[in-house]
Structure 1
Amino acid sequence: MEADLAELKEQVSLLRKELTRVSDEAEVRKTHFKYGYYLDKCLYNEVVDMFSDHPDAYVEFMGSRYRGKAGIKRLYQGRFQNSFVKGRNGPVHGFLLDHIMMQDIVDVDPSGNHAWCRMRALMQAGTHKSIRETHPRGHVQWWEGGLYENEYIREDGVWKLFRYRYFPFWHAEFETGWSETKENYVPWPTRTFPEDPLGPDEIIEQKMLWPDTRVVPFHYPHPVTGRRTDDDDLRAPQYGEKVGTAEMPLSLALPEGQSGPGAGSSDNPKVLPELAGNM
């Protein structure tokens, strides 16, 4: 009887842990989806409020990083809000910016306080012809495909956005498609804050736009072999050329000054060890 009771307690404990893990994964997934819904309608104040106040929080975007809450505000409430909706919080008539989020892979640390998510975004964007004379973008319509490799932390019992790495993988004009897209479709930032009042805190070398097809690194090892994907296999040489001729692989490495153990734990088999120990 005592042995049966002990076994039952152990099973209940295991089920509780599994339920907590599944629940955390669902909450992280919902957190990102909520971010996407706010982003769709240019609700940039709501987007910024979803980010952690942790000093190591940042957004990596278009070859640059916006660090800390101040940098994140500069990106969303400065650059995006001013250029898309002229400073208001919310949509403007006739401007489309829909982000479809999908193929999400969420992994939560055993501590229950740190999570990673890889997710694809497909964006439909543009302006209606009726606002061609009043919106600074004129009359335009385009597609965008991108990939997130993000981190989240739990603060005061609430999951928040922590390190957001978004790689806009490709753009395409609606009329001509992706095969005709000009290279470097979106200009890279060239000046940092405060020289550029809405600029990033740092310029980095992670510059990738179609037709560059390098692989954004995976936060997780291979689910069967347990191995990380080789860096050379993440590169994209010209057809038939040696891999050494290609651009260097992309990286999920942290910026200078951010390292060491935190909410993450190196004993998480679902996250690469070199990433799992970083808060």
Structure 2
Amino acid sequence: MSDIEELKKVVAQLQKEVTRLGGNSPDQEEVRKLQYKYGYYLDKCLYKEVAELYSNHPDTCVEFLGGRYNGKDGVKRLYIGRFAKSFVAGRNGPVHGFLLDHPQIQGIVDVNPEGTRAKGRFRSMMSAGTHESIKDTHPRGLVQWWEGGIYENEYIKEDGVWKIFRLKYFPFWHATFEKGWSYTKPNYVPFLSTTYPEDPNGPNELCENPMLWPDTRVVPFHYEHPITGEQVADDDLRAPEYGQDPSSSTPALKLSKPASDP
């Protein structure tokens, strides 16, 4: 290989790194923007727009409340089927007096060396509910609640465009405004238990060991410790009763992987 060819190879590699980490259109920032846009669309019940943020890849999925919705059809079944029908009478867009507000914050994004896939961890804090003026017309009646959750997502670049590949949302806690989180009843929001097609808007499969407050297990990190280079030990991801051995508690959570995981 000539010196010129070698330099061209080095420049091409550097250009790829600039695209991945910096430059005019950094991949990391594009993935963050994608997740932020997801949040803005979801808050206003723009479920068609949300669904179109997802990849057409066969391993695409959404994990929510103990269920896994597979493929683009599963994505649409969750957002356009379950959510739209439950919250906004099947329309695409908000209805008067129904509140969803959940910022996407603390985004940590890591892109693979090829610049083709990425993983991201985000936190959400939601305030939601209905105004008293619609308590007799909205199926939720008069309700207001707090919610906090963690996303551990995967993203994929298709035809030069970043898309959501596998969204895994762990709603960590819920609380009423009246009493707060100290009094939240276990199973406050029931886990999904019936799959599609028995439930027309149900998931394709159920996830193992779903969690909800007061379960405080750690959602596994997609990244290694920045100093030690190690992952958190499984026992340290568990949440035993105070003073009890970790082995007595529910197993540590595991992040699902796509069949096409490189």
TM interval, short-chain normalised:
over 0.9
Matches within 5 A, 1:100-115: 100-115=103-118
Task: Report deviation, 1:205.
Answer: 1.6
Q: Distance in 2 between matches of 1:238 and 1:223?
A: 29
Q: Distance in 1 between matches of 2:9 and 2:176?
A: 57
- SS for the counterpart of 2:235 is helix
Q: Which residue of the partner structure matches residue 60 of structure 1?
A: 63
Q: Distance in 2 between matches of 1:86 and 1:231?
A: 43
Q: Which residue of the partner structure matches residue 19 of structure 1?
A: 18
Q: Distance in 2 between matches of 1:15 and 1:259?
A: 31
Q: Distance in 2 between matches of 1:155 and 1:82?
A: 30
Q: Which residue of the partner structure matches residue 268 of structure 1?
A: none
Q: Which residue of the partner structure matches residue 134 of structure 2?
A: 131
Q: Which residue of the partner structure matches residue 41 of structure 1?
A: 44
Matches within 5 A, 1:250-261: 250-254=253-257, 258-260=258-260
Q: Which residue of the partner structure matches residue 231 of structure 2?
A: 228
- SS for the counterpart of 1:187 is coil
Task: Report deviation, 1:207.
Answer: 1.1
Gaps of 5+ in 1: 261-277
- SS for the counterpart of 1:159 is strand
- Contact 2:16–2:115 under 8 Å retained in 1: no
Q: Which residue of the partner structure matches residue 145 of structure 2?
A: 142
2:31 matches 1:32 = no
CA RMSD in angstroms comes to 1.9
Task: Report deviation, 1:245.
Answer: 0.5
Number of matched pairs: 256
1:150 maps to amino acid: N
CA offset digits 1:168-197 (Å, max 9, x no partner)? 000010121100111111011121111110
Q: Distance in 2 between matches of 1:199 and 1:11?
A: 50
Task: Report deviation, 1:21.
Answer: 1.6
2:77 matches 1:78 = no
Gaps of 5+ in 2: none
Q: Which residue of the partner structure matches residue 252 of structure 2?
A: 249
Deviates more, 1:14-23 or 1:212-221: 14-23
Deviates more, 1:17-26 or 1:139-148: 17-26
CA offset digits 1:183-232 (Å, max 9, x no partner)? 11101112111111011000122310000000000001111011111100
2:163 matches 1:160 = yes
Of 78, 96, 101, the residue aligned with 1:98 is 101
1:93 maps to amino acid: H
CA offset digits 1:40-81 (Å, max 9, x no partner)? 000000000110000000001111100001111110000000
- SS for the counterpart of 1:31 is helix
Q: Which residue of the partner structure matches residue 197 of structure 1?
A: 200
4+ residue stretches of structure 1 with deviation over 3 A? 8-18
Q: Which residue of the partner structure matches residue 218 of structure 2?
A: 215
CA offset digits 1:8-49 (Å, max 9, x no partner)? 989966763442122000000000000000000000000001
Q: Which residue of the partner structure matches residue 266 of structure 1?
A: none
Q: Distance in 1 between matches of 2:28 and 2:147?
A: 27
Q: Which residue of the partner structure matches residue 263 of structure 1?
A: none
Task: Report deviation, 1:253.
Answer: 2.6
CA offset digits 1:124-178 (Å, max 9, x no partner)? 1000111010001111110100000000001111100000100000001012110
- Contact 2:109–2:120 under 8 Å retained in 1: yes
Aligned residues: percent identity? 63
Q: 1:178 to 1:110 in 2, by over 3 A?
A: same
Q: Distance in 1 between matches of 2:38 and 2:149?
A: 15
1:247 maps to amino acid: T
